[in-house]
């Protein structure tokens, strides 16, 4: 249910947000402040709705997007000129923090597939599917003290 809410809120913004990443990759000082502001307020409204008192600032959200390097944090697919979403790594509904550290840029596919799954379960399944891990997968598994199912061969 929480995920459906995110998708509902973010979908109308997709056409515009998909342009943000394109802009920032070449003109990051021109990142659209109005769009960022709207996006930030949307994220904060969702947190407020489920009783979380912390708020993100526009520079927080901008920082998460810039730090993505233009790829999905989960699967590392390029998001250049593609729609993307911001995902709470540990869902707010599972007491995840509403902070930049708990946010990641995600492709819509990963965000949809992760949905209400436990982040470690999703990370495990994704590493097997990809045949590799990503820094975020390792970070999430490490947070929960889990060894990745997929291990790179030595040779």
- Which residue in 43, 61, 72, 126 binds Zn ion (CB under 5 A)? 72
Q: What DSSP letter does each residue of 52-117 carry, written as one string?
A: ------HHHHHHHHHHTTTB-TTT--B-TTS--EEEESS-GGGT---SGGGEEEE-HHHHHHHTTS
- Which residue in 10, 21, 65, 75 binds Zn ion (CB under 5 A)? 75
- Which residue in 20, 107, 140, 141 binds Zn ion (CB under 5 A)? 107
Give the Cα separation of 114 and 120 in Å (integer). 10
- The reply on whether position 84 binds Zn ion by CB under 5 A is no
Give the Cα separation of 146 and 124 in Å (integer). 9
Distance of closest approach, residue 49 Cβ to Zn ion, in angstroms: 26
Stretch that binds Zn ion, among 29-37, 42-50, 65-73, 115-123 (CB under 5 A): 65-73
Distance of closest approach, residue 105 Cβ to Zn ion, in angstroms: 9
Torsion, Cα 16 17 18 21, to 10 degrees, reads: 130
- Which residue in 10, 21, 103, 110 binds Zn ion (CB under 5 A)? 110
Q: Is 20 exposed, middle or buried (0-12, 13-18, 19+ CB in 10 A)?
A: buried
Distance of closest approach, residue 74 Cβ to Zn ion, in angstroms: 4
- Which residue in 39, 74, 84, 122 binds Zn ion (CB under 5 A)? 74
Which parts of this chain interact with Zn ion (CB under 5 A)? Answer: 72, 74-75, 107, 110
């Amino acid at each position: 249910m929480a995920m459906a809410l995110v998708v509902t809120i973010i979908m109308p913004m997709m056409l515009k947000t998909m342009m943000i990443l394109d802009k920032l990759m070449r003109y990051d000082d021109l990142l659209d402040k109005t769009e960022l502001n709207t996006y930030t307020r949307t994220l904060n409204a969702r947190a407020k709705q489920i009783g979380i008192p912390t708020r993100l600032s526009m520079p927080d959200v901008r920082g998460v997007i810039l730090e993505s390097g233009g790829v999905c944090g989960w699967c590392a697919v390029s998001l250049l000129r593609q729609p993307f979403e911001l995902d709470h790594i540990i869902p707010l509904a599972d007491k995840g923090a509403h902070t930049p550290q708990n946010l990641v840029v995600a492709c819509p596919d990963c965000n949809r597939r992760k949905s209400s799954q436990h982040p470690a379960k999703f990370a495990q399944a994704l590493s097997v599917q990809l045949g590799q891990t990503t820094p975020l997968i390792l970070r999430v598994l490490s947070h929960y003290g889990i060894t990745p199912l997929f291990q790179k061969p030595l040779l």
